[in-house]
């Protein structure tokens, strides 16, 4: 998962407001589950309070960078895990976590309500919590005279020279998803030629989503110089103008699907209560908060999206993806080749 519309300050404020404990310890009577997450985890306090009232379990949240950083940390500490449950390992890194045996087998009774559609392995070590499609976003007004691109190939047209900003796939989850989207679209050989043409057409590369979206992109708060950015299908929901219309648009024919997972960590100190937390992450009360709190789509079927999303952020229906095993086998090589080609 992923990238978020939340600024660092906003994410910190939300996390501070959440009903999660700090690392100050707990009394012997308390039932505490440590939930390892990426930095963008956020959920209203009332939802966590209700879970604690129902189960007696306090969730202690432990943030560990973005999805890639968190996955690396989980692999390195798998024999003595830093928590009981992990949330936020996404489909670009999940195969590595599974190969390294980071997660324990557990079949949540809540998985049958939608999460099973994104299952990665029969033992059910990971459960899909949400999905966030990485897509090109455009500043509608800025492209009014030029016209909007429709497909990835359009970005190599000289009329879009110096208009695109992307994230480095070595340091950014959406940047990696966009690279994988180009591999899926153009094939394991021709994607390099595509990036060579993007480079010749003035693509700008920055380290992360926040810099690209809030500083370089013209359609958001930074009012930057570039009207095309790699972001999320849900991003336009945060860019609604006073007239009720979104100022930006996600190009749904350019999307690559990321799914974020949760699972009980192998060797967890509290596996029984950890399973209850996984159930909670798949439950209707938590899933209903996923769009508004983290700007991603819930994995659970039948969960209503915010009203503004119907027009501004519909769920893409034809997103690209690559098999997890193919990503795991080639990810490091593709990123290395990309860096040599685009940044070298």
Place of tokens 């990810």: 331
Partnered with residue 34 across adjacent β-strands are 60
CB 208 within 8 A of CB 231: no
Residue 28: the pLDDT is 53
- Token pair for residue 126? 């990971």
CB 3 within 8 A of CB 175: no
User: For 246, which DSSP code?
Assistant: B
pLDDT digits (tens, 9 = 90+) for 225-280: 999 999 999 999 989 888 888 999 999 999 999 999 999 999 999 999 999 999 99
Q: Which of 247, 211, 246 is nearest to 229 (CA)?
A: 211
- Token pair for residue 90? 């996404």
Q: Hey, is 264 helix, strand or coil?
A: strand
DSSP alpha helices (H): ranges in the chain?
A: 8-17, 45-55, 67-76, 94-99, 173-200, 209-211, 271-282, 284-294, 309-312, 324-338
Residue 29: the pLDDT is 66
Distance of CA 10 to the CA centre of its chain: 17
CB 228 within 8 A of CB 160: yes
Q: What is the C-alpha to C-alpha distance for residues 83 and 274, in angstroms, rounded to an integer?
A: 9
pLDDT digits (tens, 9 = 90+) for 165-211: 999 998 888 899 999 999 999 999 899 999 999 999 999 999 988 89
Place of tokens 């692999």: 75
Residue 16: the pLDDT is 36
CB 90 within 8 A of CB 2: yes
Residue 291: the pLDDT is 92
The hierarchical CATH code for the domain 133-256+314-343 is 3.40.190.10
Domain 8-131+258-311 matches domain 133-256+314-343 at the CATH topology level: yes
| Parallel, antiparallel or unpaired: strands 31-37 and 57-63 | parallel
Q: Hey, is 134 helix, strand or coil?
A: strand
What are the residue ranges in the chain where pLDDT is below 70?
1-29
Number of other residues whose CB lies within 10 A of the CB of residue 321: 18
Angle (nearest 5°) at CA 44 between 273 and 116:
55
Provide the residue count of the chain.
344
CB 293 within 8 A of CB 55: no
CA R_g for the chain: 20
- Token pair for residue 184? 């899926």
Calculate the alpha carbon distances from 292 to 2, 23, 178 in Å: 15, 27, 24
- Indicate the domain borders of the chain: 8-131+258-311, 133-256+314-343
Domain 8-131+258-311: what homologous superfamily? Periplasmic binding protein-like II (3.40.190.10)
Residue 324: the pLDDT is 82
Q: What is the C-alpha to C-alpha distance for residues 51 and 33, in angstroms, rounded to an integer?
A: 12
């Amino acid at each position: 998962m992923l990238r978020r519309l939340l600024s660092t300050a906003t994410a910190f404020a939300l996390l501070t407001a959440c009903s999660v404990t700090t690392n100050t310890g707990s009394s012997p009577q308390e039932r505490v589950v440590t939930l390892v997450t990426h930095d963008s985890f956020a959920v209203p306090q009332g939802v966590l309070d209700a879970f604690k009232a129902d189960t007696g379990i306090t969730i202690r949240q432990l943030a560990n960078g973005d999805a890639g950083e968190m996955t690396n940390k989980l692999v390195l500490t798998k024999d003595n895990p830093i928590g009981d449950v992990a949330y936020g390992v996404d489909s670009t890194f999940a195969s590595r976590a599974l190969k390294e045996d980071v997660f324990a087998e557990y079949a949540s009774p809540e998985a049958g309500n939608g999460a099973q559609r994104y299952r990665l392995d029969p033992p059910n070590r990971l459960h899909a919590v949400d999905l966030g499609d990485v897509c090109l976003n455009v500043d509608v007004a800025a492209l009014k005279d030029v016209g909007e691109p429709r497909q990835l190939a359009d970005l190599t047209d000289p009329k879009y020279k110096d208009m695109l900003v992307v994230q480095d796939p070595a340091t950014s989850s959406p940047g990696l998803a966009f690279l994988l989207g180009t591999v899926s679209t153009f094939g394991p050989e021709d994607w390099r030629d595509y990036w060579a043409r993007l480079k010749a057409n003035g693509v700008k590369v920055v380290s992360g989503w926040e810099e690209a979206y809030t500083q370089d992109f013209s359609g958001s708060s930074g009012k930057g110089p570039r009207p095309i950015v790699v972001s999320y299908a849900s991003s336009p929901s945060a860019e609604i103008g006073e007239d009720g219309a979104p100022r930006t648009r996600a190009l749904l024919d350019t999307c690559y699907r990321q799914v974020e997972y949760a699972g009980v960590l192998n060797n967890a100190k509290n596996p029984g209560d950890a399973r209850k937390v996984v159930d909670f992450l798949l439950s209707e009360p938590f899933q209903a908060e996923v769009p508004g709190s983290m700007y991603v789509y819930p994995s659970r079927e039948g969960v209503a999206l915010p009203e503004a999303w119907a027009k501004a952020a519909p769920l893409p229906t034809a997103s690209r993806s690559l098999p997890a095993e193919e990503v795991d086998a080639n990810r490091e090589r593709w990123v290395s080749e990309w860096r040599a080609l685009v940044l070298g």
